[in-house]
Chain A
Amino acid sequence: MKVYALSVVRAPPSTTSTTLSTATDLSSFSFYQRPSVGEFMQFFTKTIAERTPQGQRQSVQENQYTAHVWNRGGAEQLAGVIITDQEYPVRPAFSLLTKLLDDFIAKVPVAAYDAPAAIAFPEINAYLQKYQDPRQADAIMKVQQELDETKIILHKTIESVLERGEKINDLVDRSNALSAQSKAFYKTAKKQNSCCVVM
């Protein structure tokens, strides 16, 4: 389950879009394929961002890539695009896009949108790397995973408590027998003392 590319695109409603910030992870492709794949991703990103109306989310599948796009619109007219493989879960992809766009709007001023090459937004790379494993990065999935682990631990605990119960039952029986035997021992010792006084 991999994320191939993550980008922030400025998508005004009717005109062409401009990519403001991109991060890609093409390490799974062979060295000679990388440039062409990278270009394909850029083209894909731009096309998708242009074709999504404002305030909408969309998911498009192309061969073995799936692109999720979220056109935020608003005053900055930004859209976030993420290209992943087919296994990547959809919901964390969209929540990543939301987070990314919010972060971008907070960090990069609107005036810098006209010079895309000058925009420095290194967090996009950090996001890309972090979300390669969505189970750890997405809060909801992480909580779910921890809950599942806790459930497993609790099941093991219940099994050991059951075992403990069995051992305790065994102990009860043994202590009962031991108590009876010690009582008999005491009686015998007492009897020894009183009757048939040895000379």
Chain B
Amino acid sequence: MPVQDRTNEFRACVESIRNRSSFPQRGAEAKQRLLTNGKGPESKSEFSRTASSIAKDISSTTIKLGKLAQLAKRKTLFDDRPIEISELTYIIKQDIANINKQIASLQAYVKQRNAQNNKSPEGKQLDEHNHNVVMLLQSKLADTSMTFKDVLEVRTQNMKESKDRTEQFMHSTSAAASQAPSNSLLFGNSQRQQDPMGDGTALSPRLDIKGKGRAQPNSDILALDLGAAEEGQGSATGDAFMQMQLVEQQDNYIQSRSTAIESIESTIAELGQIFTQLAQMVAEQRETVQRIDADTVDIASNVSGAQRELLKYYASISSNRWLMLKVFGVLIVFFLIFILVS
């Protein structure tokens, strides 16, 4: 986002508010003083000039980065423009290093002023403001560098994919045989210009490798630059370029290690999810089991009640027998009397 100067709008707002409300005379005078002090552009301190130029550089770098991101996103097999991309990458790298140096000098200037200044309240506020501005610029630069690194990663990924596709279309064994030695030779010594196969099929894989070879050291320098930017020292840029060769080869191994560990981490996260799902399912089933429990208790009570009734019935039947015997005995006696009489 480009830096906009909205001081005039701010001043107009202040004027309108002042005219609307009733301020005491003293406050109005103080504000008048502030406004007149900040008026002319000639009174801008050297600090703010440097800061604004750095901010402009950062914004232009961000625009270039956007263009690079768009170029890097293209996934076509043949229309790739490695020269442009690598040029743009180089320019952006230079810009970032430049901005880094400027920020470092700005911070040194701030520290120097800090040492000179007496402890007036205005001076303290000014120092704090300067410090904040430097922090802001540094964080903006760090964001830009992060975006740059992401773009480079996307680019290397795309190049890997296009290389795989190229191998599919061209003779696979010849490409593979030329891969490994040219890989090591090119990475180890980027000046050697060997053509391993001697025919045209080696050209495009080689260009890809060269682009990749240049893309990767950028990420290493970036890592070192980020560290430098975050700490606010500008001296590491020169060393960064020299360490490029050494850090290149480590990067593959370290990257593969980090991907392996990331896959482990994602597996563990998956396992955690599975456990949660499992717990959820068991909790759902708990309700149902409780229903079964209640039903079983009901069944037990019903069956025991029914047994009690049957027992009572049985008891009443067995006790009733005596009454029955008595009733039947009386009937039989009457029948006997009637038969004997007749």
Q: Does A91 contact B (CB under 8 A)?
A: yes
Q: Which of B11-19, B146-154, B268-276 contacts A (4 or more CB under 8 A)?
A: B268-276
Write the chain A residue with the least CB distance to B180: A61
Listed in ascending order, the chain B residues whose CB lies under 8 Å from chain A are 177, 179-181, 183-184, 187-188, 246, 249-250, 252-253, 256-257, 260-261, 263-264, 267-268, 270-271, 274-275, 277-278, 281-282, 284-285, 288-289, 291-292, 295-296, 298-299, 302-303, 305-307, 309-310, 312-313, 316-317, 320, 323-324, 327
28 A-B contacts (beta carbon < 8 Å): A56-B250, A60-B181, A61-B180, A91-B257, A140-B260, A141-B260, A143-B264, A144-B260, A144-B264, A150-B271, A151-B274, A154-B274, A168-B285, A168-B288, A172-B291, A172-B295, A175-B292, A175-B295, A178-B299, A179-B298, A179-B299, A182-B306, A185-B306, A186-B302, A189-B305, A189-B307, A192-B313, A193-B313
For A165, the chain B residues whose CB sits under 8 A away are 281, 284-285, 288
Given contacts A168-B288, A179-B302, A199-B324, contact A154 B275 (CB under 8 A): yes
**A window 50-65: CB within 8 A of B:** 51-53, 55-61
Is B278's CB under 8 angstroms from A161's CB? yes
For A161, the chain B residues whose CB sits under 8 A away are 278, 281-282, 285
For A169, the chain B residues whose CB sits under 8 A away are 288
Write the chain A residue with the least CB distance to B183: A59
For A53, the chain B residues whose CB sits under 8 A away are 188
A19 to B192 alpha-carbon distance, docked (Å): 28
Among B261, B282, B310, residue most surrounded by chain A Cβ atoms (within 10 Å): B310
Report, nearest first, the 6 A-B pairs whose CB atoms are least far apart. A182-B302, A189-B309, A61-B180, A175-B295, A186-B306, A189-B306
Among A95, A157, A189, residue most surrounded by chain B Cβ atoms (within 10 Å): A189
For A37, the chain B residues whose CB sits under 8 A away are none
Is A182's CB under 8 angstroms from B298's CB? yes
Q: Which of B285, B307, B309, B323 contacts A164 (CB 8 A)?
A: B285
CB distance from A91 to the nearest CB of B (A): 4
A155 to B273 alpha-carbon distance, docked (Å): 12
Interface size on A, residues (CB 8 A): 50
For B183, the chain A residues whose CB sits under 8 A away are 59
Among B267, B275, B317, residue most surrounded by chain A Cβ atoms (within 10 Å): B267
A182 to B307 alpha-carbon distance, docked (Å): 11
Is A151's CB under 8 angstroms from B271's CB? yes
Q: Which of A91, A179, A182 contacts B260 (CB 8 A)?
A: A91
Is A144's CB under 8 angstroms from B267's CB? yes
CB distance from B220 to the nearest CB of A (A): 13
Is B302's CB under 8 angstroms from A198's CB? no
Is A60's CB under 8 angstroms from B271's CB? no
For A120, the chain B residues whose CB sits under 8 A away are none
Q: Does A148 contact B (CB under 8 A)?
A: yes
Among A186, A188, A192, residue most surrounded by chain B Cβ atoms (within 10 Å): A186
Write the chain A residue with the least CB distance to B248: A56
Is B309's CB under 8 angstroms from A186's CB? yes
Is B278's CB under 8 angstroms from A154's CB? yes
12 more contacts with CB within 8 A, not counting A182-B306, A186-B305, A198-B317, are A59-B180, A60-B181, A91-B256, A140-B261, A144-B263, A175-B292, A179-B299, A182-B299, A186-B306, A189-B305, A192-B310, A199-B320
Is A155's CB under 8 angstroms from B274's CB? yes
A188 to B309 alpha-carbon distance, docked (Å): 9
For B256, the chain A residues whose CB sits under 8 A away are 90-91
Is B253's CB under 8 angstroms from A94's CB? yes
Is B268's CB under 8 angstroms from A147's CB? yes
Q: Which of A148, A158, A176, A189 contacts B278 (CB 8 A)?
A: A158
A171 to B323 alpha-carbon distance, docked (Å): 49
For B291, the chain A residues whose CB sits under 8 A away are 172, 175
Is B299's CB under 8 angstroms from A175's CB? yes
For B323, the chain A residues whose CB sits under 8 A away are 199
A11 to B333 alpha-carbon distance, docked (Å): 134
Write the chain A residue with the least CB distance to B300: A182
CB distance from A31 to the nearest CB of B (A): 30
Given contacts A154-B271, A189-B309, A199-B320, contact A57 B299 (CB under 8 A): no
Q: Does A183 contact B (CB under 8 A)?
A: yes
Write the chain A residue with the least CB distance to B247: A55
A193 to B264 alpha-carbon distance, docked (Å): 73
